[in-house]
Amino acid sequence: MVADTDTNGGRNWVNLPAPSPEHPDEWLLWEAETTLQSIEELSERLDIKHAFARRLEEYGNEIHSATRPVLTTEHKVAFIGDIGVGKSTAICRIVGLEVQKDGTDLPDPVLEVGGGGVTICEVSLVQGPDFGLFIEPRNEDEVSKEVREFARFLIPEPRPNQDAETEDPEFHGTSKEIERAIRNMSGLVIRRPRSADGERMRVDSARELAQDCADSEALASQILTKMDLHRRTKCELQYSAESGKEPLAWLKETFEQVNNGRHPAVSLPRRIELTVPSLILGEGSLSIRIVDTKGIDGTAGRDDLERHFNEPNTVVILCSPFNNAPSPSVQQLLERTKEGGFLDLEVKTAVLVLPRPEEALAVKDDQGISADTVDEGYELKKEQAELRLRSADLPNVGIQFFNVREEDSMQISNSLLAMVQKVREKHSERLIEAVLRAKEVVENYEAEQQLEVLQEAAKHLNTWIQNNQDITIAASKLLQTTLTEAIEIAHPSSLRASVNRQGEWHNLDYPHQLAHGARVMANIAIGIKMRDFKAITTNLLQNPELEGAANLVLQARRILESGVNNVLEESQSKGRDVHSLEMKPDMPFWYRCANEWGQGPGYRDRVSEHHGDWFSDVNHRASLLDVHRFVQSEWRAILARLSAILQVG
């Protein structure tokens, strides 16, 4: 490997990329680098035994793995919550993205806000050289699917047995944010002119166009033509003083144009990034990105939300209204992350309650007495929220309050920054422990190769390994369980929207549900083994006669924990493969499901039956068993790594 020389300090970085001198953990990274060099030097000695060489290799792998989240200075703070809860308003107040509302002294958020269902996609705020927007557009196929779904709403297929009770004629698989953008991009807006007698009329240009089209496909083609996508190719918009507007006013106006499909050069966005020259959360040594996720409207089990829990350097802020804090969607997310075995939830996650004025003073204690002060109301509500979390056996995450209209944002801003720093501290602690343990073993390598207590500890661990080669997949929690449960509670029209897209719709996303199901399945199967192993290693560490084997025992535990976490992450990919390789290409299956729409009551039950048949089919069952075999194979691979370091003596 070519050395990366740090000219400022004269250090040779052989194993790790050289951080900048301003890096907040530069000293720790150098400790990791020198320890890796020591491990390499020791590994080349001829008197090193094979098992000890494997231990050194594992220490090196552990340091490399622990270094990655410390090396980067990029962090995200992701806000998640129901539509209309006030995420965007809170973010703008915290970051200082507000302009004065015309004719008043009131602050107006730069991000477009309303009664909910306003933001078309995920929006990020990040420091940049100037004010600007970067747009990641949806591809033509994605836009086409949205337009076709909108067209099917305008020209529904005739069904003689239409079930008006369960098939909502006003529901369609295109969200109102997407519909609004499609209408603006195509010019098919709803006009409200006044009639001759002065009353407002509602004239729907899209429905007028639909009257001249033979079917929904013809209408979709017309709408796509009017959207003029080949001219909508601009992905970067930068502020210029020539606009004649103040920077934040320009940013607000331009964002609203893009968000509503009114910018003539921009297509339907998948993600939008706003850059501002000021520091985010006032921190200069870190690059912090604020993420405003698309509001929850229906299920909280969405890939664009839950992936943030799996990102090591992301802080997740679960926004909840005051009266029912934590809200059902927040509880659902916490339950799913818990059953999926996600790491560091209590460090990287918090509930942010967003009260409206007077709500805190309306809280009553157990005696029915209202709070005297806002702080007392917050304290009472916090106790109630914590009780809800405990009663549901959910992670013990922090709970904070922020009244956007009346409270200064400095306290919550400092709190968010403190969470980011705690996440970094957690990563640093893991790296420090890995470095210290490795140094101790390197410095005492002769004794570490000969100690009899190592043999005694290894014997106990090897016995456990031999007795736990196989894992059992619980029949009650198969890979498809999460998907089938989501289908059972989905709105019939929501299920139809997903079926029309071969399972790829944000509110009922088959790939994500199967991925989550695979992770939960693996976590349940391995979790029992993990608890047993932790109990055994704890007993060994508490045995004073085996004190000299502590490094070996702790290393074995860390190998198992990190290996299992990797298996859980990789299981998600295997779950997605079931959809992409087996389910999505099975067009006869989707046709059968689609044809159930309009056949009378029981649409969801009939579609669920088709799904049951699909998962029970011997050909598809083989692909599900592949996921089982993968988990079993990876489990044995972890045990083989453990066994390799335990062949001492």
Query: Mind giving me the DSSP string for 91-147?
Result: HHHHHT-EEEPTTSS-EEESS--SSS----SEEEEEE-SSSEEEEEEPPHHHHHHHH
β-strand pairing of 314-321 with 74-81 = parallel
Q: Phi/psi of residue 201, each to 5°?
A: -110, 160
Q: Say if CB 79 and CB 319 are below 8 A apart.
A: yes
> If you search the block for the tokens 């909280």, which residue do you land on?
300
Q: Say if CB 90 and CB 354 are below 8 A apart.
A: yes
pLDDT at 402: 96
Report how far apart, in Å, the C-alpha atoms of 268 and of each of 50, 174, 258, 328, 506 are: 58, 13, 8, 31, 16
Sheet holding 132-137, edge to edge: 236-238, 132-137, 269-276, 122-127, 287-292, 74-81, 314-321, 349-354, 398-401
pLDDT at 634: 95
Cα-Cα-Cα-Cα torsion 263, 265, 268, 272, nearest 10 degrees, comes to -80
Radius of gyration, alpha carbons of the chain: 28
CA distance 88 to 291: 10
Half-sphere exposure of 494 (CA within 13 A, CB side): 15
Report how far apart, in Å, the C-alpha atoms of 628 and of each of 193, 486, 562, 619 are: 61, 22, 20, 15
Q: Say if CB 356 and CB 323 are below 8 A apart.
A: no
272: closest CA among 95, 79, 131, 125?
125
Residues 6+ apart with CB under 8 A from 121: 177, 269, 270, 271, 272, 294
CA distance 489 to 494: 10
Q: Is the peptide bond before 326 cis (omega within 30 degrees of 0)?
A: yes
* Residues in the chain where the model's pLDDT stays below 50: 1-2, 7-8, 163-167
pLDDT at 252: 95
For 440, the token pair is: 């101790």
> In sequence order, what DSSP letters do the residues of 386-439 get, joined into one string?
HHHHHHTT----EEEE--TTTS-SHHHHHHHHHHHHHHHHHHHHHHHHHHHHHH
462-477 as b/e, with b when 16 or more CB fall inside 10 Å?
bebbeeeeebebeeeb
Query: What pairs with residue 648 in β-bridges?
Result: none
SS3 content of the chain, % helix, strand, coil (to 5): 55, 10, 30
CA distance 53 to 397: 41
Report how far apart, in Å, the C-alpha atoms of 301 and of each of 150, 297, 328, 329, 411 are: 24, 11, 12, 9, 31
For 522, the token pair is: 């693996």
For 583, the token pair is: 């389910």
Q: Residue 273 is inside which H or E element, if any?
A: strand 269-276
β-strand pairing of 98-100 with 398-401 = unpaired
Per-domain residue ranges of the chain: 141-231
322: closest CA among 378, 368, 279?
378
pLDDT at 102: 75
For 82, the token pair is: 């129901």
Q: Say if CB 546 and CB 453 are below 8 A apart.
A: yes
Q: Say if CB 75 and CB 288 are below 8 A apart.
A: yes
399: closest CA among 380, 374, 373, 371?
380
Q: Residue 472 is inside which H or E element, if any?
A: none
β-strand pairing of 269-276 with 132-137 = antiparallel
CA distance 66 to 15: 13
> If you search the block for the tokens 């001759």, which residue do you land on?
196
Cα-Cα-Cα-Cα torsion 35, 40, 44, 48, nearest 10 degrees, comes to 50
E strands along 284-410, which residues? 287-292, 314-321, 349-354, 398-401
> In sequence order, what DSSP letters do the residues of 178-200 get, joined into one string?
HHHHHHHHHT-PEE--B-TTS-B
Q: Say if CB 227 and CB 238 are below 8 A apart.
A: no
Q: Which amino acid is at 132?
A: G
Q: Say if CB 47 and CB 450 are below 8 A apart.
A: no
Query: What pairs with residue 77 in β-bridges?
Result: 290, 315
CA distance 346 to 397: 5
For 506, the token pair is: 């944000």
Q: Say if CB 79 and CB 111 are below 8 A apart.
A: no
